Amino acid sequence: VLLVLSNKVAMTTFKFKYILTLTMLHFITTAAATRAAAAAGLFQPKRTLGYREILLLGGAGTVSIAFMNANLQSNSVGFYQMSKLCLIPFTVVVQLLVYSASFSRKVYASLLLVLAGVGMATVSDVEVNALGTAYAVLAVASTAQFQI
């Protein structure tokens, strides 16, 4: 949550409009922290990916985070958080339709609660615009594919 609020302050208060630069800074920070944690013995990397897999994963992650940052820049924090919550049911739908996955009734019941919460949050957040909504849809779709 602190990262989201910090990004929003940078975008609104300081008029920082360079979404890809912000995305690059996220990746550099994550890579440095991960390497430091591994060097400190906090975890052991399991295996190394091949060059092609690294490029595909890195590209998908970059697209996902870039659209999430554009989503945050174009929308209120409430609408941004709501769109992130929509990621869960969207991922389930993709897994059902594309990968023929199956889920328990408990999963479906919890999804109904999430969707009800998203519906209630939508009512109170009136700062919605076409471009921001488009970024939110692209962010959810690209992030779901990245996570699957």
Selection from 144, 148, 8, 5 nearest residue 64 by Cα: 144
Selection from 113, 114, 91 nearest residue 103 by Cα: 91
Neighbours of 125 (CB within 10 A): 15
8 A C-beta contact, residue 51 and residue 126:
no
pLDDT above 90 covers a percentage of the chain that reads 36
Coil, strand, or helix at residue 103? coil
Please list, in sequence order, all residues whose beta carbon lies within 8 angstroms of the beta carbon of residue 138, skipping any fewer than 6 positions away.
Answer: 67, 70, 71
pLDDT at position 125 over 80: no
pLDDT at 122: 65
pLDDT in tens, 82-96: 888 888 889 999 999
8 A C-beta contact, residue 27 and residue 69:
no
Mean pLDDT of the chain: 87
Q: What is the pTM of this model?
A: 0.74
pLDDT at 33: 96
8 A C-beta contact, residue 95 and residue 101:
yes
pLDDT at position 135 over 70: yes
